[in-house]
Structure 1
Amino acid sequence: MAGKKERQRRLARERYARQQVRRLQRAQRWRKGTVIGVACCAVLGLGAGAYFFLAGGGKSASAASASPGPSASATPAGSTSPAASPAATAAAPAAGPATHCTYTASPPAARQVGLPPATPDGKAKYQATLVTNRGTVVIDLLNTSATCTVNSFVYLAGKSYFSNTTCHRLTTSGIYVLQCGDPAGTGKGGPGYKFADENLTGARYTQGTVAMANAGPGTNGSQFFLVYRNSLSLPASYTPFGTVVKGLGIIQNVAKAGTDNANGPGDGHPKEKVVIERVIIKKP
């Protein structure tokens, strides 16, 4: 009887060890994958306080806590480290629209478009229409509070940067977002430049929020995510620059169809492919 109990304990220890290996492997996939924020530790069961950076790209950024958990990068594969340069550190809260923007070269570019103008039109009211194969999504852009981010987005749209690109990532556990903005469709592509964070004070990622993917302060590029359901476990680290005012149900229907779990349970490519055919910018 004692031998049987000892064998059961040994099998339990081995099973636990295998589970830990699988969790570490999932963590490595997140580190190498394309992600956008941080997910609550409960998603992967790694214990209280563990968070996961969700960005898009190749190299790792610092973890959000001391608890064991992976991190990821939004920088293009083979590009510079995601650690922010002096020219691309997080911007201080502005009293009004920014009057000057700094965009720092960060090659390679998924599509060659150059750099946005350094002087934005902070007084303009912009609305972006994502024309997709699933329908039309309309976004009011927050130009007053995220001026340089909107300036970049409007510039890229004008260069047809987003045309015929796929939304490469869908998460359906812990955080609820659809990630887009990479012409390469891998989560490793960017515009060849990076810029500072904005509009982070009090940021909350409620349903309808549109925010930038990143790998730490000052690593914004072209990848962004649309929140189709409240994702309040995300910290205020991802520049909110828009609000979906029409078409959120399209994204929610894509989410209902699920993900292929390529990066782990509830995280991968959307089963229903989403293609941004073009982005139209209007001044209502």
Structure 2
Amino acid sequence: MPSNEQRREAAKRKLERQLERRAARARKRKQLTIAASAVGVVLLVGAVAVVVTLTRDNEESSEASAAESVTASEQAPGVMPSGRAEPLPQLVSCTYTPDGQEPARPVDPPRTDDIDTTVRTVSVSMETTQGNIGLTLDNADSPCTVNNFLSLASQGYFDNTPCHRLVTSEGLKVLQCGDPTGTGTGGPGYGFANEFPTDQYAQGDPALQIPVTYPRGTIAMANSGLPDSNGSQFFLVYGDSQLPPQYTIFGTIDETGLETIEKVAAAGDDGSMAAGGGAPNLPIDITSVLMD
């Protein structure tokens, strides 16, 4: 008869297999894009507009102190949370779960323990074939995402990879990068949970389905449309964009970087993606990502 310890280990292995199968199904469904949700957002924005105006002014209120922050459930529908209701502990642990897919490039998962949140921001220089894009990563609000991004960058995962998707619609202005295959399906072979702003909402909160403004200059994670399906792909917002708050924000883009992206956006895209947008007509490849 198996011991309690053996039963616990068997149950743990079964759960891990279930999580891996679920993640694998999610990977197969995706182009790892934000477009599927964006289609719904375009239809929903008109109805939401009569209730709340999504403006840059709402985003500027993020400068308010933590003492003035309120929980997501207390905010008006359609407003991005201005910040965390409570700061994270000084040290956090992160979980990066294998998804059953071959990594787009060989890569080791990030470290998982004692991730320091007291370093609020990390400056990064992303060199591209169209110019430099300076990034400030928000380690205090999304430490597991920043930890992942820096781990991939340090291993050269992003080097000499294309930004494979550009969207120039009125409600969605983004450049998507982070897939070495350039197909929109590649990832690092593991997934991890959403952070800010998603984790400021209770699970199942209807507000998670209401679009908010991701302001110009935001860096956020792309996902498969399922919760906690982040990998390596991210998108750079070069114009205010409306999306449900289901995409982890983990930093901002400097003005020089926005000029680089806007130059690419001005040339348009080839319309090759059924979900919206396509490959940039002016190709842009990441050549390196280095901490400043």
The amino acid across from 2:87 in the alignment is A
The range that moved more, 128-137 or 32-41, is 32-41
Question: In 2, are the aligned partners of 1:258 and 1:270 still within 8 Å (CA)?
Answer: yes
- 1:210 and 1:47 map into 2 onto residues whose CA distance is 22
- SS of alignment partner, residue 118 of structure 2: coil
The 1:147/1:33 distance shift into structure 2, 3 A limit, reads: closer
Question: In 2, are the aligned partners of 1:121 and 1:151 still within 8 Å (CA)?
Answer: no
Q: Counterpart in 2 of 1:149?
A: 145
TM-score (structure 2 length as normaliser): 0.65
- 1:34 and 1:265 map into 2 onto residues whose CA distance is 11
Q: Does 1:103 align with 2:100?
A: no
The range that moved more, 145-154 or 112-121, is 112-121
Question: In 2, are the aligned partners of 1:94 and 1:145 still within 8 Å (CA)?
Answer: no
Q: Counterpart in 1 of 2:38?
A: 39
- 1:270 and 1:46 map into 2 onto residues whose CA distance is 27
The 1:224/1:265 distance shift into structure 2, 3 A limit, reads: closer
Q: Counterpart in 1 of 2:223?
A: 214
- 1:39 and 1:213 map into 2 onto residues whose CA distance is 12
Question: In 2, are the aligned partners of 1:35 and 1:187 still within 8 Å (CA)?
Answer: yes
Task: Give aligned-pair identity as a percent.
Answer: 45
Unpaired stretches in structure 2, ≥5 consecutive residues: 1-28, 48-83, 202-211
Which structure has more RCO (C-alpha within 8 Å, separation ≥ 6)?
2
TM-score (structure 1 length as normaliser): 0.67
- 1:154 and 1:47 map into 2 onto residues whose CA distance is 34
The range that moved more, 33-42 or 273-282, is 33-42
Task: Note the alpha carbon deviations across 1:218-277, whole angstroms, 9 max, x for none.
Answer: 10000000000000x201000000100232011011111000000259610000001000
Count of aligned pairs:
208
Q: CA deviation at 1:108?
A: 1.4
- SS of alignment partner, residue 137 of structure 1: strand
Taking only aligned residues, the RMSD between alpha carbons, in angstroms, comes to 2.5
- 1:223 and 1:182 map into 2 onto residues whose CA distance is 6
The runs of at least 4 aligned residues of structure 1 exceeding 3 Å deviation read: 31-34, 40-43, 45-49, 201-204
Normalized per residue, the structure richer in helix is 2
Question: In 1, are the aligned partners of 2:41 and 2:243 still within 8 Å (CA)?
Answer: no
Task: Note the alpha carbon deviations across 1:59-112, whole angstroms, 9 max, x for none.
Answer: xxxxxxxxxxxxxxxxxxxxxxxxxxxxxxxxx976325511011111210011
The 1:47/1:196 distance shift into structure 2, 3 A limit, reads: closer
Question: In 1, are the aligned partners of 2:31 and 2:184 still within 8 Å (CA)?
Answer: yes
